[in-house]
Amino acid sequence: MAHWPAQRTPWLILATSATLLVFAALWFQHVQGLVPCVQCVYQRTAMMGVALLGWIGFTAPHLLGVRLIALLGWIGSAGAGLYSAHHHIYLQTRANPLFTSCSPFPDFPQWAPLHEWFPSLFAAGGLCTDIDWSFLGLSMPGWLRIIFAVYLVIAVSVVTIRLLRLRRL
């Protein structure tokens, strides 16, 4: 596991899995007609981050700088996605819908209004409290919480094992 960051195959698996999940989200939106909410958009953005950083890691895993950028970005994106999925589940299950709502527009930085530039990917119109889809008793953010947690555990494990191995040398 300590050697994974320097190999292309683990990066390919990460990038491919995250890319397929982004395509699945787009399929649910554009084919199945599920309208994403703001938290869905944030989770999609985080998954795109995992995918992009996986592809970056895949391109040149032999370069230390590329590996560091890809690993740190992977951890950041997976952490952001996990936080957003967890918050989304809170909104769906525990928050009072009369007093808790989500914005109809994502809060992207002014210098990068992705929801205006690419509305088919980043525009939101759904309600965060609605559960429009579930599988095996979990809503979509429930599954994404598991997926982001797995991504994060793997990334942190790889970094930890790598650092412990370097420390022994």
Just list the catalytic residues. 37, 40, 44, 102, 128
Tell me if 37 sits within 8 A of 130, measured CB to CB. yes
Beta pairing partners, 139: 134
Backbone angles phi, psi at 43, to 5 degrees: -65, -40
Measured CA to CA, the distance from residue 50 to residue 69 in angstroms comes to 12
Q: What are phi and psi of 96, to 5 degrees?
A: -80, 115
DSSP string, 98-155: TT----SS----TT--HHHH-HHHH---S-TT----EETTEEHHHHHHHHHHHHHHHH
Rounded to 5 degrees, φ, ψ at 135 are -145, 125
* Contact in structure between 141 and 88 (CB atoms under 8 Å): yes
